[in-house]
Structure 1
Amino acid sequence: MRKTTKIITGGSCTIRVKGNITTKTGGKTVIWAKGGIEINSSGSITYSAAEGHFYGDYVPPEELYTTHPTVLRVEFFDETNKLLNQNTKDFYYGKKLKLKVTTRDAKDGTLIFVKLQAKSKSKNQPFDLMSPNRKYNWWAKEVVDNKFETPFFELNPNWYSDDFEYYDYNDHNTKIKEEDLNEFYAEVRFDSKTVYFPLAGERLKPIAYKRNYEELIGLFKTDNSGEKDLIENYENRFIDSVKYFKNIVDDFSEFIHEDNCDLTIDQIDAEVLKTARQLWEEAVWQNRGYDLKTETKDKETGQENTVVTSVKAILDDRPLYWARISMQVILKRHPAFYDDIKTLDQKDQEDFFVKSIVPKKSRLWKTIQLFEEQSRNYTNIDFSKAGYKKKVLITGFDPFFLNSIKYPNRYNILQSNPSGVVALALANNDKSGAYIQTMIVPTRYSDFDGSQDYDNGQGEGIVEKYIKPFVDQVDMIITVSQYLPNENVIDVFGTSRRGGLNDNMNFIRKSGSQAISTKIEWIQTTLPKTFINAPFVKFNWKYDDLPNPNNVVPQKDQILNEGSGGDYLSNEIFYRVGKIRSELRPSLATGHFHIEKIQDGRINEDLNPLKISNLLSIIRKGIEEGVKGI
């Protein structure tokens, strides 16, 4: 499963205290039992250690069980019969392997008992399928020619302990230290004696896809200590905040890594198509509110009744954002894609295995894009039910500036993006004088310019691929994003130039560079002036971050370092859509609605339900008035 904690012991030792027990040692204290250990306290129990806590299956002191008169060694082999012992670190979770036990002077037919074991430095590492599942226990097997080999099996990719990963801000990639990897070995019982092989220092230490910068932020502990945790982290907090999201992610995790060990890529794609779509629809459902119908039956009369309960909308885009990240990490760790990536050139392999960037030439890239298309609603925009209503396409953005551990009092890991809430709450809406379809786009340069380079990129991307086809089909396109506190404005000018500020992947772009090669330096909005008939909405005429009280229009070829709304991706989506409109359908109403920021990053403010509800009312009214002008 995605998160489970198992601590396994076996016998009993009970300590009950009303006062204090203090134990001091200058060396090492070992407590072990063949039974169980129970600790009770009327107060609190505190564990602390400079080098971390170690949890896993019960293992007696190793120095007592490291030799055996008959068992010589235990070794891991892959499907090609390659030896995987000696701390192999290039073997991946999910790939097939087997255990081979070598004995000496053993009579053929003698029974041997073998059980897979694991050890982790993580206090919350789940090895939840290991102990109860006989797949990893080989009891009462016969030794022949002084050998016993298990059938091939797989190590669950969910057993990889990514809470020890860390992002290198100099190399711009994610790393994990060898000593922090989980290790695997075997408990062998033979001739009534037990041994644990391979010995420490020679055990199997498999690896997995390492989370990229955006994916890694979610593992920060919710106590803001700067540590990472497999369970008490922000990613889980937001996913688990709505039980339906938790169910979707957990079921997806089980399907991909536990229920079907030999999935083909086509089978994975089929599950992605279904589940990623379900994720979007669930997010829309939660952000719109709904009527819950319950069928009841009177026990005495037998009369059946339908009780309708109005369930209030959960106005929050964060469960969708974090669920998408968690599920894509699950996908990227499936072994079905590894061989495909290893057939690519060295740079592409390095991109994935070192830089955590999925190569565009890989089969995995197509699967991730399928997930993006469904969970962001890129390919399910449908105006067929619009009838005679105006057709309006609205886009929102992912949350951004989330790394409050690296950038305290500036970024906010609790940050929502109210534009994402707008997109979810207004999806399929036909009550604002128009029929509305929506999508949510990422806060990543790569998706906009098609480049996977850290600091260099220019070209076409998601806007040209997914929004351009609707220029001839709709009556208005409104791109929406988060702006400044207490500011709800229609940006008048968008520029082709970028400021280059870090995105959600920690990527940058050269300041002053163009997002796309063009002679069209800036674009002016064509959204109708009726937007300002809504309270608190106005047009923003400034550019280059300077007041423009006289509403002066720049010169035709004038280079604007900043548009009305700045020089980040909000300006970029405004410009890109406007450029397409100017080339294909100049009369189409397009532009950018910058809506107010309602969370204070300086104090890690959480999303306030009343604030987001009030803001949504302002935006609804603005769009309603805007539609009247087309």
Structure 2
Amino acid sequence: MKLSVSTLLVSVTLFTSSAYSNSGLFNTTNSPYTSLSPTYEEKRINDIQTNHTEILAPYQKFIDKFSKNIESITEFSSLLNFAKSTGHQLWAIAKKPSNNQLKDDRPLYWARLAISQILRQHTQLLDLDTNKRTEIFWQYELASRGKTDINFKPSGHFQVIITGFDPFYLDQNIIQNNPSGAIALSLDGKTINIDDHQVTIKSFILPVRFEDFDKGMVETLLTSYMRVPLADMVLTVSMGRPKQFDLERFPGLRRSTPFPDNLDIYTGASASNPLLPRLNGTTLSGPEFVEFSLPAAAMQEATGAYLIKDNNRVVTNQGERFPKKLVELNNLISVEGSGGGYLSNEVSYRSMLLRNQFKPTLPVGHIHTPYVSEYNADEQRAILQQFERILISAVKASAAQ
């Protein structure tokens, strides 16, 4: 996901915006965790259910069954367990093995929203307080994004975590997909042998929402696997620039995108006003820039339809820079990291901050996939195939060290 302050790949039409305060206080009438009425994101589901029923078809019976079964639940604890179990089942359906390895990330995204809308209505009927609603939706989101499916254990296997993102640009194209989410679903649970190493892959898909990042979703998903550590490599992935993969060398701390998230939330950030993200009610603390630790040279040798660029471009308070080393960015304020000023840069920064805290030698880094304007199976297959080669090259080089 690439929204650059200096270069915007797709024009953005501004709709009625929702308020956001960088103090960490979100408008509770448009929060996926506290809102009693459908959120801005959930309201888009009406278009899908009316005009694009084929996208929801893999989940429609499951959604109908959920809508019926929830009616008999009257207690908070039962509803919490039901929500968590439902999220886990959503993920299981999305990653279910098939003869066609290629996955479409859109059915899971829209099914999650269809069910969260039903779940939201039921929490209102039960008159649950804000804390209980938040807990229900937090557990539902985590489970439906792959959290409860992770089963990494200490072993001789090489264990890789991949994170993708939900679709975005949805007010411009309601049926937009995100190649990074499709990659996450296609590779989740896959085991491959690379130079006598058994490599196991597990995935998460993150929301395109500032609130979830400020609540610590990235840290919640990754910390337990990086602290022990159980993961041997972490690749965060999002959709980026046309016709190329980018290995984002220097993620930056601050947000600078002036554009909204999937909830139509604006942070007030801009190139002239880069803002610090939040983490569980406090300002996210860390250096202005960090550096990824993936074997970029080996990854660039992965052949395919697209160029692979080791991208070292950043924007600082003193302008654009192309540093060769992290030390060249000392005493400069981040405006854009190599991955931009939006949430793709931020997941990269947060994951590397965890790496630096728990295991500085862990290979961690962000990859931007080529940009796509709509779902195209041939295009998605080419992206996935080359990404797999990039991953194999990264594992070979890391395991050899």
TM-score between the two structures when normalised by the length of structure 1 = 0.52
The one-letter amino acid paired with 2:358 is L
**Do residues 566 (structure 1) and 393 (structure 2) align?**
no
Rounded to whole Å, the distance in 1 between the matches of 2:301 and 2:17 is 49
Q: Secondary structure at the match of 1:561?
A: strand
* Identity value in percent: 29
2:147 corresponds to: 378
CA deviation string 1:184-240 (max 9, x = no partner): xxxxxxxxxxxxxxxxxxxxxxxx9431111112223x7xxxxxxxx5144x44212
CA contact (8 A) 2:248 2:311 kept: yes
The one-letter amino acid paired with 1:612 is Q
1:615 corresponds to: 383
CA deviation string 1:112-166 (max 9, x = no partner): xxxxxxxxxxxxxxxxxxxxxxxxxxxxxxxxxxxxxxxxxxxxxxxxxxxxxxx
CA contact (8 A) 1:478 1:593 kept: yes
**Do residues 628 (structure 1) and 396 (structure 2) align?**
yes
Aligned to 2:362, which of 565, 588, 601? 588
User: By how many angstroms is 1:477 displaced?
Assistant: 0.8
- Alignment RMSD: 2.6
Aligned to 1:218, which of 45, 60, 65? 45
Rounded to whole Å, the distance in 2 between the matches of 1:171 and 1:438 is 31
**Do residues 495 (structure 1) and 256 (structure 2) align?**
no
The one-letter amino acid paired with 1:417 is N
Q: Secondary structure at the match of 1:219?
A: helix
1:89 corresponds to: none
Rounded to whole Å, the distance in 1 between the matches of 2:101 and 2:46 is 27
Rounded to whole Å, the distance in 2 between the matches of 1:566 and 1:438 is 23
Kindly indicate whether structure 1 or structure 2 has the higher relative contact order, using CA contacts under 8 Å at least 6 residues apart: 2
Gaps of 5+ in 2: 1-13, 20-26, 30-34, 278-282
The one-letter amino acid paired with 2:110 is W
User: By how many angstroms is 1:550 displaced?
Assistant: 7.2
1:319 corresponds to: 107
User: By how many angstroms is 1:168 displaced?
Assistant: 8.3
User: By how many angstroms is 1:387 displaced?
Assistant: 4.3
1:416 corresponds to: 177
User: By how many angstroms is 1:273 displaced?
Assistant: 3.0
**Do residues 522 (structure 1) and 293 (structure 2) align?**
no
TM-score between the two structures when normalised by the length of structure 2 = 0.81
The one-letter amino acid paired with 1:576 is R
User: By how many angstroms is 1:552 displaced?
Assistant: 5.5
1:105 corresponds to: none
Aligned to 1:533, which of 281, 301, 307? 301
1:463 corresponds to: 218
Rounded to whole Å, the distance in 1 between the matches of 2:82 and 2:164 is 26
2:209 corresponds to: 444
Change (3 A) 1:398 1:607: same
More helix, by proportion? 2
Rounded to whole Å, the distance in 2 between the matches of 1:270 and 1:609 is 36
CA contact (8 A) 2:162 2:234 kept: yes
Rounded to whole Å, the distance in 2 between the matches of 1:337 and 1:628 is 54
Aligned to 2:329, which of 555, 567, 577? 555
1:239 corresponds to: 56
Q: Secondary structure at the match of 1:628?
A: helix
Rounded to whole Å, the distance in 2 between the matches of 1:216 and 1:543 is 36
Change (3 A) 1:549 1:556: closer
1:273 corresponds to: 84
Change (3 A) 1:423 1:586: same
Q: Secondary structure at the match of 2:168?
A: coil
Change (3 A) 1:565 1:263: same
Which has the larger Rg? 1
CA contact (8 A) 1:396 1:481 kept: yes
Runs (4 or more) in structure 1 with deviation over 4 Å come to 170-175, 335-338, 545-550
Q: Secondary structure at the match of 1:575?
A: helix
Change (3 A) 1:488 1:274: same
